[in-house]
Amino acid sequence: MTSVSVIGTGKMAAAITEVFIRSKASVQVLGRSPDPGGPIEQLDVEHAVIGDDLTGDVVVLAVPYEAFGDVIARCGDQLDGKVVVDISNPIDFSTFDELVVPTGSSAAAELSQQIPTARVVKAFNTTFGHTLVHGTVDGTPTTVLLAGDDVDAKVALMEVVEAAGMRAVDVGLLPRAKDLESTGFLQITLAALAQTSFDSGFALSPFDTDAARRARTEVVPD
């Protein structure tokens, strides 16, 4: 059974915690107070304070990008060797007009540089909390896209996502995180402009490998 530590107590932290509960993982939630209040306090998990011992093999940073430095300072070398999941979308929320990471980089890449001994995976930033709690998008299983350089770390996270009844799709190495963050930026911008809702999301239809193989080998007549 996978053990997970979720750092953060907001809506996304609560939604991701529910995913891990559905997957039968052992979950620890860490906030600024041992009594965080809100929906996450009602979940049947271990509650702790940021800076306490991390019990999870997987650590989810369910906090804004701007809070990474504080979390790293408080958790110190506890992140060494852990699978560290970055869910952030590093957006300038005052203007909604740009990402605040260096051009060509990503929050996940910047995080990996700060904690080089951790196994960083980008995930959950293209899924709104509603689609995680319900596990579907318009009847199709919610798809969690993820990127990272460590194959075993990605497999560990994918197994948890799939055990919760959703799909997990590996989009490639950590440099792909910048594409995931651009996608997350687009989703949030569309919702902020009321072009869609924060309850909506994207889902990928199941991939038919046999059909794809036939399509590649089929000869199309002139």
Residue 10 has pLDDT above 80, yes or no: yes
Give the gyration radius of the chain's Cα atoms: 18
Confidence label for 94 from pLDDT (cuts 50, 70 and 90):
confident
Model pLDDT, residue 142: 94
Amino acid, res. 63 = V
Average pLDDT over residues 182-189: 92
Q: For residues 190 and 202, what is the distance between their CA atoms, to the nearest angstrom?
A: 12
Distance CA 6, CA 74 (A): 14
DSSP string, the chain: --EEEEE--SHHHHHHHHHHHHTT-EEEEEESSSS--HHHHTSSSEEEEBTBPP--SEEEE-S-GGGHHHHHHHHGGGGTT-EEEE----B-TTTSS-BSSPTT--HHHHHHHHSTTSEEEEESTTS-HHHHHH-EETTEEPEEEEEES-HHHHHHHHHHHHHTT-EEEEEESGGGHHHHHHHHHHHHHHHHTTSS-TT----PPPP-HHHHHHHHHPPPP-
Rounded to an integer, the average pLDDT of 53-61 is 96
Q: What is the pLDDT of residue 222?
A: 45
pLDDT, tens digit, 9 for 90 and up, residues 172-185? 999 999 999 999 99
The better pLDDT of the pair 112, 195 is held by: 112
d(CA 182, CA 101): 11
pLDDT band, very low/low/confident/very high, at 145 (cuts 50, 70, 90): very high
In this prediction, residue 217 carries a pLDDT of 47
Q: Is the pLDDT at 19 greater than 60, yes or no?
A: yes
The mean pLDDT value for 9-34 works out to: 93
Q: What is the mean pLDDT of the segment spanning 178-204?
A: 87
Computed over every residue of the chain, the mean pLDDT equals 89
Higher-confidence residue: 151 or 196?
151
Who wins on pLDDT, 220 or 182? 182
Instruction: Pull the structure tokens for residue 183.
Output: 């996608």
Q: Residue 131 has which token pair?
A: 């689609």
Q: What is the pLDDT of residue 103?
A: 92
Residue 44 has pLDDT above 90, yes or no: no
